Amino acid sequence: MIIAIDGPAASGKGTLGKRLADHFGLEHLDTGLLYRAVARVLLDQGTPLTDRDAATVAAENLDVSHLDDPRLRGAEMGEAASVVSAYQPVRDALLAFQRQFGVQEPGAVLDGRDIGTVVCPQADVKLFITASAEERARRRHRELLNRGEETDYETILRDIRRRDERDINRSTAPLKAAEDALTLDTTHLDADETFQAALVLVEGRIPRNQDLASR
């Protein structure tokens, strides 16, 4: 069983993915962390993010055992990841790992920008999670403040809009909903309400005579 969750930055897809995975007894992968980890390698090396070849080498040799590094959740790494994720060779290097993760038993939940369209187009359930740029900026602002990072709302809003523009218009795996995806706007929903709404959508796609966790 594969649940694919796509959507723009700070739409709540990561939190939702983790909760759905826990609920159904599946593994969860925030694929955005892979690109953040690639960006971290370049930044640690002092290599420009515009160095496509260096980014590709970093992706090909990525150590996925450190995706829990708190640095990957910061605003700087999010912006940097948006740059390196536009490189086709980087995406190619990470694609096999993501697909292998998706087909493990009993199943998996993957969230990102192109899960339902590129990584797992055969996913049993595809969700596209969105929210207004202003609400997403408020969420990210609150998250960073709670983490003790110095930031301001207007800067984050500009960053959100810039990343949306880059992700939607890139030639490589642009951010978009799969044709058979179910769209959920979380602008006016909190985390619990989002989970409950998504649960209804997911269960609506599961055959009545089958138990999700056994698929």
Residue list for the binding site for ATP:
7-15
* Known binding positions: 7-15
Q: Are 34 and 91 in contact (CB under 8 A)?
A: no
CB neighbours (10 Å) of residue 206?
A: 15
Beta-ladder partners of 108: 2, 27
Query: At residue 3, what are phi and psi to the nearest 5 degrees?
Result: -110, 120
Residue 149: C-alpha distances to residues 14, 140, 157, 186 (Å): 20, 11, 16, 25
Q: Are 26 and 213 in contact (CB under 8 A)?
A: yes
